[in-house]
Structure 1
Amino acid sequence: MSSEEALLLAPPTTNASAAAARTASLAAVESPAPEPAGETHAVLTQRFHAAIPGGAHTYAKGDDQFPEGIAPYLVRADGCRVWDTERREYLEFGMGLRAVTLGHGFRPVVQAAQRELLRGTANVGRPTMLELRAAEDFLSTTQAGDMVKFAKNGSDATTAAVKLARAATGRDRVAICQDHPFFSTDDWFIGTTAVRAGIPWGVRQLTHTFRYNDLASVQQLFEDHPDELACLIMEVEKDVPPAPGFLQGVRQLCDQYGTVLIFDEIITGLRWHVGGAQAVHGVRPDLSTWAKALGNGFSIAALTGRRELMELGGLHHDKERVFLLSTTYGAESHALAAMRAVLTTYRREPVIEHLRQAGEYLRRLLAQSIAEHGLTGHFALLGPPQCLVYATRDAARQPSQGFRTLFLQETLKRGLLLPSLIVSYAHQPADIELAAERIHEALGVYRRALDEGLDKYLHGRPVQPVYRARN
């Protein structure tokens, strides 16, 4: 290896005090090893599907998203590792669908939640002082809005934002970015996907789509529906960065046509910046929605934005009332305490810098493996380092669910839970290096399958897209 290559592949440097704090925070709590389930994988699968539609409470975690017969059922997690019913250990790079940025069981967050539970105020009949402190903490840390309303999941927050925009503008139509895969479980969004059973035709007609980084497609929507678009909702950034002038152009068009601009920061908030991707790119929306990293795995989401919009869901105005967000568990105290501990950690420690460094180190190591196996054009790394994903393509370089399944199969066999390449504050250089070694082996199988045929190496059916009309 040349000196230049050695420098390129060197692990990221870390601040000594931050590393020490991280080590202390992630020290394992004494607990007995998880007991085996005592049942075969097939029996457990049957039980899951007998009790839960789809076998999981999140479609992205369902059996159809993983190789047949080997996807683990988990019983414990710590840092960037998880354990299954057979006590097998896996390095995880999904991190709760990007919700866990600090690591599983991050002690300051868990301890904050525990302390609040012991106060007996998990859910009481009037607002608690914690709700006020949490709201002020969120607003001062993120600088993303004038007011905030908490909820339990991102879908509720985005739907509330759409309702608020419709109330403020008196319009019904919604514009969404078709290149961003998920905004809500509610009808206004799911009606645009292939899984539209149960959604009225009339509701589906009110949502329109545009393309990311295609300002002309946004302009065309406004021209096609003048004075009809209540809001435009999009992620600020996903796999590719915004083209120069795109976000600014969208902002200008929304201002010109009186449309509310909503940024979905559910993934980017606290992963791109404490102020979200809007702070990185310097374009402010009217409303934005947050979740995922806010609670490091605890259920907490937020809707924030301009006071004149948010106050429509309040008491201090003479306009028609908006029933904005009213959830029994929206201010559940342990989740708010967890969020405050997360925000404190972000203010004190270089979390986002670590995410970028760890993700970039992983990208460099995997890029070398891709080149060594001759997989350029067949296995691709996408997205910024703090939110890295991969794409699988066949011999013709076309997107392939079969090759995705093969890659998942081979990485699971090697102790990696790898639906994506998402890193956390818990992932250290040694974890990245271990994962890269095992992925290198899996990519060797990928190469052989390209040369000799997928069927020779893939065991079981391919994984399926979540959005499909039939099973």
Structure 2
Amino acid sequence: MDTEDFFLPRSREANARLHELIPGGAHTYAKGDDQYPEDLAPVISHGLGAHVWDVDGNRYVEYGSGLRSVSLGHAHPRVLEAVRREIDRGGNFVRPSVVEIEAAERFLATVPTAEMVKFAKNGSDVTTAAVRLARAVTGRPRVAVCGDHPFFSVDDWFIGTTPMSAGIPAATTELTVAFPYGDLAATEELLDRYRGEVACLILEPAGHTEPPPGYLAGLRELADRHGCVLVFDEMITGLRWSEAGAQGLYGVVPDLSTFGKALGNGFAVSALAGRRELMEWGGLRHAGDRVFLLSTTHGAETHALAAAMAVQTTYAEEGVTARLHALGERLAAGVREAAAGMGVGDHVVVRGRASNLVFATLDERGLPSQAYRTLFLRRLLAGGVLAPSFVVSSALDDADIDHTVDVVAQACAVYRKALDAGDPTPWLGGRPVKPVFRRSV
């Protein structure tokens, strides 16, 4: 389909209503219509497996489902069966449910490098709890975050460091410092500069590139030597890298780690896990001051914990992590071949681990370009591919991958025309897409 013939009138109307009712028109900034070409932001009606349908009736092959949370595909039968079973038994009680024991045992069997776990709803809940716990245990005020990773929490200690820092006191932001990924010498220099002040090092253990040899082990040694807590944010790497996350794959054990996203296949569940010695500070079996670690009304809803257990069982019994890697490798190879065939192999670039692929859109000078991203997304949408990233779910099949590669090839043909013209503007159809973190609207 030509993009000039591709309209989304019902989605456009629904987006207008969303903005009237919800600040930003979405409950996650990364889902905002400013992330999509103008008037081409589909509003979803429903999804099944690797496909979603918008309110205009269009069907898409979907990537990055639920911001990477739906890794088994929408409405996965094993997950839904577990959820329905618990909903019929009640979802939230005045005392802990036996399901909380079962879910904790199942999680700790999946992530054997952890000794205790506490569940919540969002990633921010548990990363902030990890920071609070690290500060309590060490008595130190500063948090060192990996500056090369885009997001850790909606809470002040992190958001204050982004361009969207309005409403956050400078005094809070000043307590967060940054270290570069992969550079042990720079991290040690930071720890020396703030000697005795840094409570924790928090980072995604892996991202678009593999950790350099010895890097994670080196961070472990630095944290031990400087007396700070090592925290792995495994929101993305959890299950996608291995069933036990990056710590299970690379063999480096953090003091604390946080999980979410794929853990519930779209149901709201996250986890803070770690060494018993630290985690007990948030409990009742220690002699020190009490730490308000996590206390969430809905953190142990039985249906969400049942979903998490079903997800972990499915991963283990069906080899889901290996399937994600195989699908991603097939997709990456196809996209790279299509881009090279159209002469844009240096401009449409696939990056990341096969189970967590993203793409870069580069301009004539080889620099990241929101305008070229807009052109690319328009063509994908018109071809029935909804892909803010190329993060796969296990519900994809070979036909989905082949269709995606065909659409990418068509998009790359237009990309080549824009590069030759030296200006993508005629192919944008409106304003370019915008980065999530920016200071002004």
Q: Same fold (TM over 0.5)?
A: yes
Equivalent-residue separation in structure 1 for 2:332 and 2:399 (angstroms): 14
Kept in 2, the 8 Å contact 1:144–1:288? The answer is no
Residue 77 of structure 2 corresponds to residue 77 of structure 1: no
Cα deviation digits, residues 173-225 of structure 1 (max 9, x gap): 00000110000000000011000000001001000001111111101111100
What residue identity is the alignment partner of 1:83?
W
Cα deviation digits, residues 43-85 of structure 1 (max 9, x gap): 3222110000000000000011111101111010000000011
Kept in 2, the 8 Å contact 1:260–1:286? The answer is yes
What is residue 8 of structure 1 aligned with on the other side? Answer: none
What residue identity is the alignment partner of 2:396?
H
What is residue 146 of structure 2 aligned with on the other side? Answer: 177
What is residue 112 of structure 2 aligned with on the other side? Answer: 143
CA drift of 1:39 comes to 6.8
Residue 172 of structure 2 corresponds to residue 196 of structure 1: no
What is residue 394 of structure 2 aligned with on the other side? Answer: 425
What residue identity is the alignment partner of 1:106?
H
Q: Which secondary structure state, in structure 2, belongs to the residue aligned with residue 310 of structure 1? A: helix
Equivalent-residue separation in structure 2 for 1:41 and 1:334 (angstroms): 31
What is residue 106 of structure 1 aligned with on the other side? Answer: 76
Equivalent-residue separation in structure 2 for 1:93 and 1:447 (angstroms): 24
What is residue 207 of structure 1 aligned with on the other side? Answer: 176
What is residue 349 of structure 1 aligned with on the other side? Answer: 318
Q: Which secondary structure state, in structure 2, belongs to the residue aligned with residue 280 of structure 1? A: helix
Equivalent-residue separation in structure 1 for 2:65 and 2:104 (angstroms): 26
What is residue 21 of structure 2 aligned with on the other side? Answer: 51
What is residue 87 of structure 1 aligned with on the other side? Answer: 57
CA drift of 1:356 comes to 0.5
Equivalent-residue separation in structure 1 for 2:84 and 2:414 (angstroms): 45
Equivalent-residue separation in structure 1 for 2:312 and 2:92 (angstroms): 22
Equivalent-residue separation in structure 2 for 1:114 and 1:205 (angstroms): 46
Cα deviation digits, residues 344-381 of structure 1 (max 9, x gap): 11121110110000000011111111211111321111
Equivalent-residue separation in structure 2 for 1:267 and 1:169 (angstroms): 27
Residue 304 of structure 2 corresponds to residue 335 of structure 1: yes
What residue identity is the alignment partner of 1:88?
N
Cα deviation digits, residues 19-57 of structure 1 (max 9, x gap): xxxxxxxxxxxxxxxxxxx97443322211000000000
Residue 277 of structure 2 corresponds to residue 308 of structure 1: yes
What residue identity is the alignment partner of 2:167?
G
What is residue 413 of structure 1 aligned with on the other side? Answer: 382
Kept in 2, the 8 Å contact 1:145–1:304? The answer is yes
Residue 434 of structure 2 corresponds to residue 460 of structure 1: no
What is residue 330 of structure 2 aligned with on the other side? Answer: 361
What is residue 438 of structure 1 aligned with on the other side? Answer: 407
What is residue 20 of structure 1 aligned with on the other side? Answer: none
What is residue 152 of structure 1 aligned with on the other side? Answer: 121
Cα deviation digits, residues 228-251 of structure 1 (max 9, x gap): 100000001000111111111111
Question: How many residues in Structure 1 have an aligned counterpart in Structure 2?
Answer: 433
Kept in 2, the 8 Å contact 1:176–1:232? The answer is yes
Cα deviation digits, residues 257-293 of structure 1 (max 9, x gap): 1000000000000000011001111111000000001
Equivalent-residue separation in structure 2 for 1:144 and 1:429 (angstroms): 35
Q: What is the identity percentage for the equivalent residue pairs of Structure 1 and Structure 2?
A: 53
CA drift of 1:127 comes to 0.4
What is residue 21 of structure 1 aligned with on the other side? Answer: none
CA drift of 1:113 comes to 0.5
Equivalent-residue separation in structure 1 for 2:223 and 2:9 (angstroms): 56
What is residue 32 of structure 1 aligned with on the other side? Answer: none
User: For 1:232, which of 201, 210, 222 is the aligned residue?
Assistant: 201
User: Greater CA deviation, 264-273 or 41-50?
Assistant: 41-50
For normalisation by structure 2, the TM-score amounts to: 0.97
Q: Which blocks of at least 5 consecutive residues in structure 2 are unaligned?
A: 1-7
Cα deviation digits, residues 298-325 of structure 1 (max 9, x gap): 0000000000100000001111100100
Equivalent-residue separation in structure 1 for 2:245 and 2:74 (angstroms): 22
Cα deviation digits, residues 429-471 of structure 1 (max 9, x gap): 1111111111111111111111122112111100111111111
Q: Which secondary structure state, in structure 1, belongs to the residue aligned with residue 230 of structure 2? A: strand
Kept in 2, the 8 Å contact 1:144–1:304? The answer is no
Residue 198 of structure 2 corresponds to residue 219 of structure 1: no
Kept in 1, the 8 Å contact 2:11–2:55? The answer is no
Equivalent-residue separation in structure 2 for 1:147 and 1:245 (angstroms): 27
Equivalent-residue separation in structure 2 for 1:466 and 1:353 (angstroms): 31
Kept in 1, the 8 Å contact 2:356–2:390? The answer is yes
CA drift of 1:144 comes to 3.2
Residue 248 of structure 2 corresponds to residue 268 of structure 1: no
What residue identity is the alignment partner of 2:174?
Q
How do residues 361-400 of structure 1 correspond to structure 2 at under 5 angstroms?
A: 361-400=330-369
For normalisation by structure 1, the TM-score amounts to: 0.91
Q: Which secondary structure state, in structure 1, belongs to the residue aligned with residue 148 of structure 2? A: coil
What residue identity is the alignment partner of 2:111?
T
Equivalent-residue separation in structure 2 for 1:39 and 1:216 (angstroms): 54
RMSD over equivalenced CA pairs, Å: 1.0
What is residue 243 of structure 1 aligned with on the other side? Answer: 212
What is residue 103 of structure 2 aligned with on the other side? Answer: 134
Q: Which secondary structure state, in structure 1, belongs to the residue aligned with residue 210 of structure 2? A: coil
Q: Which blocks of at least 5 consecutive residues in structure 1 are unaligned?
A: 1-37
Equivalent-residue separation in structure 2 for 1:81 and 1:361 (angstroms): 18
What is residue 35 of structure 2 aligned with on the other side? Answer: 65
Equivalent-residue separation in structure 2 for 1:205 and 1:161 (angstroms): 19
Equivalent-residue separation in structure 1 for 2:172 and 2:319 (angstroms): 44
What residue identity is the alignment partner of 2:71?
T
What residue identity is the alignment partner of 1:138?
F
Q: Which secondary structure state, in structure 1, belongs to the residue aligned with residue 378 of structure 2? A: helix
Equivalent-residue separation in structure 2 for 1:70 and 1:252 (angstroms): 49
